[in-house]
Structure formats: C-alpha cells, structure tokens
C-alpha cells in the first residue's frame, strides 16, 4: 500500500508544495483538489512523464483492500487536472483489475459475504484488524459500484449505495451483510464509506442530508447513476 503514498508524495514534491505527509487517502485527495491549479501549472514535460510512468507501474496487481485507494487518487487527478489524460493509463489498469476481481455487482456481494463469514471480527478485535476489514469492505463497494456503472445496472447501484448507506431501511443483500457486523464497526464503516464516496465519485453526502430525515440515499444513488 506504500506505493500510492509514494506516488502522492512525489506528486506534491514535484509541484513544490509543502504538504504534511499523510497515510489518510481522503486527506491526500483533498490536498490534490485544493492544490490542483498549482499542480497543473508546475507539473509538465519530464515531470509529468515521470509521474505517469510511476502511476502506471504501481497500478497493477492490486488487491481488494487497497484498490479503491489507488482509484481515489487517480480519479481525483482525472477530475481536477486538465492534463489528467496522462493518468488515464493508470486508471485503465485499476478498472481492468477491478473487473477481473469482480465481474458483476453480485460477484462483489458474494466476495464480501465470504470475507465477513470467514473473518468474524468483532468490536474488541485489534484496531489494525478492524481497519483492514473496513478497507476491504470499501474495496468491495468499489468493485460493486464499478461493475454496476460498467453494466449500467440501476439495481447494482441501489444495492451498493442505498443498502450500504442505510442498511436499517433498505432490504437488500448488501444491507443484510452490513447489518451482520458489530454496531461499532458499522459506525467506523459508515464514516469511511461517506468519505470514500467523496474521494472516488465526488459526491458529498452532506448535500443530501436533511436534519430531520438524515441522508436521502435515493438521491445519492441517483447521482451515481448519472455517471453511467
């Protein structure tokens, strides 16, 4: 997983930016968004080619736990930089690996279900084990959403967005799996999930939040469907 942090540090260093080192992928995505103009103006020519080659070299052979973090960085570059086309090769690598790991949104559900049943992690587990599990679950979400987007499958988007976002209300296979987790793990997962939606698909869940009703996950789902 250190490779994507190495890439981010190289990106900021090449831009002449002073950014505090972070192992929080969401913080790194925020820094890219904030400094996109500076990155755009400074990184070109040999610097751009070098970063492109580094991105391409680290974006193969990714596992489920980490793939979404690579996607978040490369998707953010693609969204906010005009010269982002140079990173499209890395994005293609990530998306190709995602399709190999899970051919459909239902496959991603099966992968997640198997992982949860084999792991059986509870709230009193080691903090790293819980973090690794949350990262794996977000990885499955990424696989499921990407497959649904590729197949233009509304049902898949609804299952992974609405069922994941509010498993109490939506009766679907994803929600059932999330509800099988300890409540404290669900809380950690919920926070990371909402951050992942912003880092991966640039949807701010707070924009769909009502003080009385909570998040309108139907609208969040509709937003992602527009990406098909």
pLDDT of residue 194 exceeding 80: yes
Task: Give me the mean pLDDT over the 199-210 stretch.
Answer: 93
Is residue 86 within 8 Å of residue 48, measured between CB atoms?
A: yes
- Write down the pLDDT at residue 84: 59
Task: Give me the mean pLDDT over the 206-223 stretch.
Answer: 88
Tell me if residue 204 falls in helix, strand or coil. Answer: coil
> What's the chain's length in residues?
228
Q: pLDDT tens across 25-58, in order?
A: 999 999 999 888 888 777 666 777 888 888 888 9
pTM greater than the 0.85 cutoff: yes
Q: pLDDT over 70 for what percent of the chain?
A: 93
Provide CB contacts within 8 A for 46, sequence distance 6+.
none
Upper half-sphere CA count for residue 18 (Cβ side, 13 Å): 0
Q: pLDDT tens across 60-111, in order?
A: 889 999 999 999 999 998 888 766 566 788 999 999 999 999 999 999 999 9
Q: pLDDT tens across 146-178, in order?
A: 999 999 999 999 999 998 888 877 678 999 999
First to last CA, the chain: 29
Which residue, 192, 177, 190, is CA-closest to 119?
A: 177
């Amino acid at each position: 997983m250190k490779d994507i942090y190495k890439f981010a540090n190289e990106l900021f260093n090449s831009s002449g930016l002073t950014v505090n080192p972070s192992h929080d992928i969401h913080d790194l995505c925020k820094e890219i968004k904030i400094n996109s103009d500076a990155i755009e103006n400074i990184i070109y020519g040999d610097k751009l080619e070098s970063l492109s080659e580094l991105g391409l070299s680290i974006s193969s052979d990714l596992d489920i736990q980490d793939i979404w973090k690579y996607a978040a960085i490369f998707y953010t570059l693609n969204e906010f930089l005009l010269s982002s086309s140079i990173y499209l090769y890395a994005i293609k690598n990530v998306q190709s690996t995602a399709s190999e790991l899970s051919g459909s949104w239902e496959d991603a559900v099966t992968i997640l279900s198997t992982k949860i049943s084999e792991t059986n992690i509870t709230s009193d587990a080691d903090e790293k084990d819980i973090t690794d599990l949350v990262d794996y679950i977000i990885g499955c979400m990424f696989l499921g959403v990407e497959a649904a987007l590729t197949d233009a499958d509304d049902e898949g988007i609804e299952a992974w967005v609405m069922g994941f976002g509010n498993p109490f209300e939506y009766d679907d296979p994803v929600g059932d799996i999330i509800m099988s987790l300890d409540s404290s793990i669900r809380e950690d997962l919920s926070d990371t999930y909402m951050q992942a939606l912003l880092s991966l698909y640039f949807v701010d869940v707070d924009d769909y939040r009502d003080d009385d009703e909570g998040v309108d996950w139907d609208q969040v789902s509709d937003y992602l469907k527009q990406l098909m």
